Structure 1
Amino acid sequence: MKIHSITDLTLKTQLEAVNGKKMPALEVFAHALRFFKEHALQELREQCPSLLEKDTVRWVLTVPAIWKQPAKQFMREAAYLCDAWSMMLPNPANHHQAGLVSREDAEQLLIALEPEAASVYCRKLRLHQLVDLSSRAPGRGCLGERRSIDSSFRQAREQLRRSRHSRTFLVESGVGELWADMQAGDRYVVADCGGGTVDLTVHQLEQPHGTLKELYKASGGPCGAVGVDLAFEQLLGRIFGEDFITTFKRQRPAAWVDLTIAFEARKRTAGPHRTGALNISLPFSFIDFYRKQGGHNVETALRKSSVNFVKWSSHGMLRMSCEAMNELFQPTVSGIIQHIEALLERPEVQGVKLLFLVGGFAESAMLQHAVQAALGARGLRVVVPHDVALTILKGAVLFGQAPGVVRVRRSPLTYGVGVLNRFVAGVHPPDKLLVRDGRRWCTDVFERFVAAEQSVALGEEVRRSYCPARPGQRRVLINLYCCAAEDARFITDPGVRKCGALSLELEPAEGGPDAAGMPPGRREIRAAMQFGDTEIKVTAVDVSTNRSVRAAIDFLSN
């Protein structure tokens, strides 16, 4: 979430570990991507040796839908960086193993939005691959009841046996049975509940069923499973002191990781109707460190604290009541439900029939129960895939095979540039008046490319023409501005901010008038921008020569 929440994200942004050490975020992400690539290629080497050539692999990186353009570009830059590092390896034969793509092979890397990937996958599923929470007994989590899952699998095997020769037997061969009673125009919500965020997207089935249309811009917020971990950390702070927890994390980072892993194991078993207490093992280093720092043992700290629903077990564990665990979930789960309910109130999404609950946190019986209890009264059908934690991963593969499956998206922000317009008295404010060569101009006018929440089709272009200011100019740099409002008039309006720059790299101009009759140095450069993809893209052409111009939008050098 750090690269999403930072307003001035750059290539030099640093991350700080729990022990206080800092490192460039770009290097951290690049190392992680390099590891994943080496792992994937090792699997390919074992399964498909013929697919090891670098240019035969298309890589798909999934990111939360609420991430802004700078964060998406950051991920792409990390992929480029780790590819550059591959050239530094001593063994040239291993150069293909160390990076995702190079800038020259940019099309081999796709940025996919996580709820979109989940949506692409869910629409391919059949009924036996889903669990309808609306039809379950109250309080049952679909993945927490082993008996019900086994029953579902038995039904699935029988269904597969009967459908062996059906055209819909393979998910990839057509639309799954889930859509048998749905028609073009029907709508559904995907709630991607992950570790750091909840991402919401609303799609409408198009005709044919192979395409999707986004009805409302991606929404959500920082309400992920990590919120439960933070609540547990705050609970420990109430018992042992916040200063101690901060010091322990910094001086014993490995032991802190062990403690969080132990809590994660218990968190996964929590349920709304569980009756037994949960035991969480404390690392010996935690017990020893507290005795040295606090002057007394852990058991004494628990007795003295105001937290009466956490006890000390004779087996050296924290014994937490189910009510205590439920309280840790409450803020995060409530936040997720509030985001979903706020989305459902939007007029653009009326008529929604289904809600797909996906992502790692969607495995939680606590979350499943709360979502169904809150939304069941709306008549909304809440559905969870059996392989809920892998939904986004599998959807990303399908998205990589057909990147155009989402035909229309909604722009999350208004984008444009600042320009000069003819000054109109009574329309433009006097403080924007600029007189130049006897002409009256209005400065700082916000020329809009696309408006917030505007529907933009995949491949739809916004075209503008620009001319270099000086003869022989080799680079044109145009500031981009954005805002959440749809009706901003000037780049100085509240909420409007500079968010990036459009860069056009020009080749040396040929002597004499060009084909359009313009004098040298006054060439026309036509730029075409696309806002309907997961990333904002731009291309440009020199009108005089009809040659492509190197064009890019940089959101990280603001």
Structure 2
Amino acid sequence: DRYIVVDCGGGTVDLTVHQIEQPEGTLKELYKASGGPYGSVGVDLAFEKMLCKIFSEDFIQTFKMKRPAAWVDLMIAFEARKRTAAPQRSNHLNISLPFSFIDFYRRHKGHNVETALRKSSVNFVTWSSQGMLRMSSEAMNELFQPTIQQIVQHIGDLMNKPEVKGIKYLFLVGGFAESTMLQNAVQTAFSEICRVIIPQDVGLTILKGAVLFGLDPTIVRVRRSPLTYGVGVLNKYVEGKHPKEKLLVKDGKNWCTDIFDKFVSVDQSVALGDIVQRSYCPARLGQRKIIINIYCSSTDDVVYITDPGVRKCGTINLDLPDINDAKTFRREIKASMQFGDTEIKVTAMDVKTSKIVRAAIDFLSN
């Protein structure tokens, strides 16, 4: 069985796709984890934009700077109403405006809040005599739509990937998944394609999952590499193949600098414990130290570490103690990367002395 987990939080939405491997019951990641900045904060930003339309952006920015505590109170009041928003709701929602907002607006603009609302082009928002913004359900729905549409679009794009065909279940979890607005939109968009499951206590589901994963981290047997990983090396310079600006002459030999030696490609399947190994030699005889820089990129067509989008994500320093034949024979250095866990374990070993240096790169967030 294949399923997709849509974790909707405050700032981001994160998507993962797994297949349950039988008979072990372990999990195989079918597509690299993806997501975007489509969390519930997007609704807050839409509310702020609405306030800017009504009261002017200049005033709102000044108020946020001069009265930060009152601004927080206003957003807390909006948060309470945001949680009660529902697709079928017909009655209005009242949002308390702090007295300091009303007073500050009168001093700043020379007229009151009610006048601003009357002159505003924003529909479905009026002034209540109790000192509140009175929003219709249509106005609240409009605030949700941009964020919800981005979430639905992202899920749809992921489901159209060839690797993700045959999804049976969609689990909607995370704090933002408590919103009936989001629940309704996801069910409407995908209930005919797969079964949409919204667990009880959706906000706690991620925490429970983290605890279970901590008890058995080997449950995910196969992951997808989120990035392309490799190391920067020197190779023999080949006329016509390598650019002239990469030419380095050392001890009478021509080398090409900045070569990206790839260990794993983006979105490549890596099983728990998979090891990729390479052998290298120091650039010159008698070298007493070797530095291996580890690089990553979001694309798989990387040739040089200077290519756009390539960045350094780790370094290994290996001291090479002096030995009798160090001036005669080139030392062999074995570099390896172990994949499949939540971090990449990188090691470099001096074959002559068996000295090993280790490092780790966060596999999930790097």
- Normalising to structure 2: TM-score of the pair? 0.90
CA drift at 1:286: 1.3
Per the TM alignment, residue 243 of structure 1 is displaced from its structure 2 partner at its CA by 1.4
Change over 3 Å in CA distance of 1:467–1:439 after alignment to 2: closer
Change in CA separation of 1:435 and 1:512 when aligned onto 2, cut-off 3 Å: closer
How far apart, CA to CA, are the structure 2 residues paired with 1:423 and 1:520?
23
1:238-274, Cα deviation, whole Å (9 max, x unpaired) = 1111111111112221111111111111111111111
CA offset at residue 543 of structure 1?
2.8
Q: What SS does structure 2 have at the residue aligned with 1:352?
A: coil
| 1:369 match | 184
**In the alignment, does 2:16 pair up with 1:204?**
no
SS across alignment from 2:343 = coil
Whether 2:42 is the aligned partner of 1:227: answer yes
Q: Establish whether residue 281 from structure 1 lines up as the match of residue 96 from structure 2.
A: yes
What's 2:142 paired with?
327
Q: Partners of 2:155 and 2:163 in 1: how far apart?
A: 14
The correspondence for 1:503, drawn from 302, 309, 316, is: 316
Rounded Cα–Cα distance in structure 2 between residues aligned with 1:404 and 1:289: 57
Does residue 1:528 correspond to 2:336, yes or no?
yes
Partners of 1:468 and 1:439 in 2: how far apart? Answer: 13
1:406 and 2:232 matched: no
Structure 1 residues 47-446: aligned runs within 5 Å: 186-377=1-192, 379-424=193-238, 427-428=241-242, 432=246, 439-446=253-260
SS of the residue corresponding to residue 228 of structure 1 reads helix
Q: Which digits, 9 at most, give the CA deviation of each residue in 1:122-179, with x for residues without a partner? A: xxxxxxxxxxxxxxxxxxxxxxxxxxxxxxxxxxxxxxxxxxxxxxxxxxxxxxxxxx
Q: Provide the rounded CA distance (Å) in 2 between the counterparts of 1:520 and 1:261.
A: 73
* SS, match of residue 90 in structure 2: coil
Q: Distance in 2 between matches of 1:488 and 1:468?
A: 23
C-alpha separation in 2, matches of 1:300 and 1:541: 75
Structure 2: tracts of 5 or more residues without a match: none
- The alpha carbon displacement at 1:490 in A equals 2.9
Alpha-carbon offset, residue 282 of structure 1 = 1.0
Q: Deviation per CA, 1:382-423: give whole Å up to 9, x if none.
A: 111011110111111111111111111111221222333344
Gaps of 5+ in 1: 1-185
- In the alignment, structure 1 residue 512 sits paired with structure 2 residue 320: no
Partner of 2:302: 488
| 2:356 is the alignment partner of 1:548 | yes
TM-score (norm 1): 0.60
How far apart are 1:329 and its partner, in Å? 0.3
Distance 1:433 1:541, change over 3 A: closer
Q: Shift of the alpha carbon at 1:541?
A: 3.4
Q: Distance in 2 between matches of 1:319 and 1:192?
A: 32
Cα drift, residue 524 of structure 1: 4.2
Q: How many residues align?
A: 362
Contact 1:472 1:521 in 2 (8 A): no
One-letter amino acid of the structure 1 residue matched with residue 315 of structure 2: L
1:541 maps to amino acid: M
Contact 2:297 2:311 in 1 (8 A): no
User: 1:187, 1:202 within 8 Å by CA — same for their partners in 2?
Assistant: yes
Q: Distance in 1 between matches of 2:51 and 2:157?
A: 33
**8 A Cα contact 1:504 1:551, kept in partner:** no
Indicate the percent of aligned positions where both proteins have the same amino acid.
68
CA offsets 1:271-321 (integer angstroms, 9 cap, x no match): 111100101111112112212212222111111211131111111111000
Structure with greater proportional strand content:
2
- Aligned equivalents of 1:300, 1:464: Cα separation in 2: 72
Asked if the contact 1:280/1:319 (under 8 Å) is kept, the reply is yes
Tell me, in whole angstroms, the C-alpha distance in 2 between the residues paired with 1:244 and 1:225. Answer: 24
CA shift at 1:222, angstroms? 0.5
Match in the other structure for 2:291: 477
